[in-house]
Amino acid sequence: MKIFPLTLLPNDANINFMRLRWASITLAALLMFGAIGAMAFKGFNYALDFTGGALVEVRTDQPVDIDDIRKDLGKQGYDSAQVQTYGSGNELLVRLQPREGESSTQATTHAKEAVTRALTTAGATNPHILRSEFVGPQIGRELARNGAYALAFVVIGFLFYIAFRFQRKFALAAIIATLHDVVVVAGWFAITGHEFDLTVLAGVLSVMGYSINDTIVVFDRVRENFRGMRASPYEVLNKSVNQTLSRTVITSFVAFLTVLALYIYGGGSLRGMAESQIIGIIVGTLSSIFVACPLLLWFGVTKQDLLPKAQDEAALARRP
């Protein structure tokens, strides 16, 4: 009798993931170094939030030529203005640095005037400012610092929590897998040159939550199996990954669908965040299977690591 009508994976999955451990860890390491290299040599395309400067978003009745706009802005004293088009080509996003000697009070007013003037010169009718921003340079520095604090907080928090609920080796393996995911997602933004703004930073940090969540579920099963199975760590790990495989795939698939909805329907401001989460969910799922568990094996996890009794005996032995 077939009681389950729909399955994404065979119920009795028995893939030997651990045999692939050297290949998978090497691949993960390569990905990570590639991402770090991209961040170091190419760097991020930081958004206004981090660099400071002025931004104007305009809508016009018909598409305009962005080269004309850029040239005209150059003539008005904005040399390195970035002009992008959105939507059907009639929405423009202009980023520029304030002109020399301009006070923060005047920066946006002047930027708005310059953009409107450039658009009118380019023949656009009815330019209409949707949004304008000015961010001072000190804000960006603070954001970067807070981002680093948040990262440190999460890493230390995870380490302590997992070490407390599981064991040190689990904590280390989980943290490495999670940091791998964060680095790869950040590296993706460095390689593609997609804009890195505040919401992307939030996306990257929430990827940590997602990725660790995935790893913990597998580890939880590992812990359970270590207690209940008489088998080598190699077999226990393989069995645990296989047992949780369908859950891992389904959860990730649904999470992927929800973030996809965000990417498709959320509009420009949320696209970066959704993108970071899409990549993060894919990488996070793979890393919990292919990185976290092999690492655990590599660190030499044993049944004794998880038996509270063993620790009690050690404590007893220390007593006089």
Partner 1 sequence: MLTFPRWKYFAILLVLILSTLYALPNAYPLDPSVQVTAARAGGVAIDKALRDRVAAELTKAHITADSVAIESKDNLLVRLPDPNVQTRAADMLRPLLGGDYVVALSLAPTAPKWLDWFGAKPMPRGLDLQGGVHFAMEVDQKAAIDKRMDAFQEDIRATFREKRILYSSVSRTGPATIGITLKEGADNDKAQNELRRMFPTYQVGGEATRLAITVPDAGLRQLATEAIEQNLTTLRNRVNNLGVAEPVIQRQGTDRVVIQLPGLQDTAEAKRQIGATATLEFRAVVGDEAQAAAALADNRVPPDARIYYDQFHRPLLLSKRLLVSGDQLVNAVPGIDAQRGVPNVSITLDSTGGQRMLDHTIDNVGNRLGIVYVERIPETKIVDGKEVHSSRIDERVISSSTIQGVFGKDFQTTGLSREEAQSLAKQLKAGALAAPMSFVEERVVGPSLGAENVKRGTTAVLYSFLFALGFFLLYYRMFGLITCLSLLLNLLMVIAVMSLPFIGATMSLPGFAGLALTVGMSVDANVLINERIREELRAGMPPQAAIATGYDRASGTIFDSNMTALLAGLALLLFGTGPLKGFALTMIIGILTSVFTAVTVSRAMATLVYGGRRKPKSIAI
The interface region with partner 1, picked from 145-153, 185-193, 294-302, 305-313 by CB under 8 A, is 145-153
Task: Output the smallest distance, CB 164 to partner 1, in A.
Answer: 10
Position 136 contacts partner 1 (CB under 8 A): yes
| Cα separations in angstroms, 223 against 100, 105, 137, 157, 301 | 62, 60, 49, 20, 10
Q: Looking only at residues 188 through 247 of this chain, which bind partner 1 when binding is defined by CB under 8 A?
A: 198-199, 201-202, 205-206, 208-210, 212-214, 216-217, 220-221, 243-244, 246-247
* Total of chain residues touching partner 1, rule CB under 8 A: 87
Position 308 contacts partner 1 (CB under 8 A): no
Q: Looking only at residues 24 through 83 of this chain, which bind partner 1 when binding is defined by CB under 8 A?
A: 52, 57
Helix (H) or strand (E) holding 279: helix 268-287
What's the rounded Cα separation, in Å, for the pair 173 and 197? 29
Contact 231/239 with Cβ under 8 angstroms?
yes
Task: Output the smallest distance, CB 149 to partner 1, in A.
Answer: 5
Choice from 33, 149, 234, 298 touching partner 1 (CB under 8 A): 149
In terms of CB distance, is 72 or 275 closer to partner 1? 275
What's the rounded Cα separation, in Å, for the pair 119 and 227? 70
Q: Looking only at residues 282 through 301 of this chain, which bind partner 1 when binding is defined by CB under 8 A?
A: none
Position 119 contacts partner 1 (CB under 8 A): no
Choice from 74, 89, 137, 193 touching partner 1 (CB under 8 A): 137
**What pairing do the DSSP bridges indicate for beta strands 128-135 and 53-59?**
antiparallel
With a CB cutoff of 8 Å and minimum separation 6, the contacts of 287 are 28, 177, 178, 180, 181, 211, 214, 215
Choice from 23, 30, 229, 261 touching partner 1 (CB under 8 A): 261
Task: Output the smallest distance, CB 132 to partner 1, in A.
Answer: 5
The interface region with partner 1, picked from 28-36, 70-78, 266-274, 311-319 by CB under 8 A, is 266-274
In terms of CB distance, is 86 or 299 closer to partner 1? 86
Torsion angle in degrees (nearest 10) through CA of 145, 148, 149, 155: 180
Task: Output the smallest distance, CB 270 to partner 1, in A.
Answer: 5
Position 105 contacts partner 1 (CB under 8 A): yes
Phi–psi pair at 92, nearest 5 degrees: -120, 140
What are the beta bridge partners of residue 56? 94, 132
Position 85 contacts partner 1 (CB under 8 A): no
| Cα separations in angstroms, 53 against 101, 152, 203 | 13, 28, 23
Choice from 21, 92, 98, 222 touching partner 1 (CB under 8 A): 98
Task: Output the smallest distance, CB 61 to partner 1, in A.
Answer: 14
Position 175 contacts partner 1 (CB under 8 A): no
Helices (H), the chain: 21-41, 48-51, 66-75, 104-121, 137-165, 168-192, 198-228, 233-265, 268-287, 293-298, 303-306, 308-318
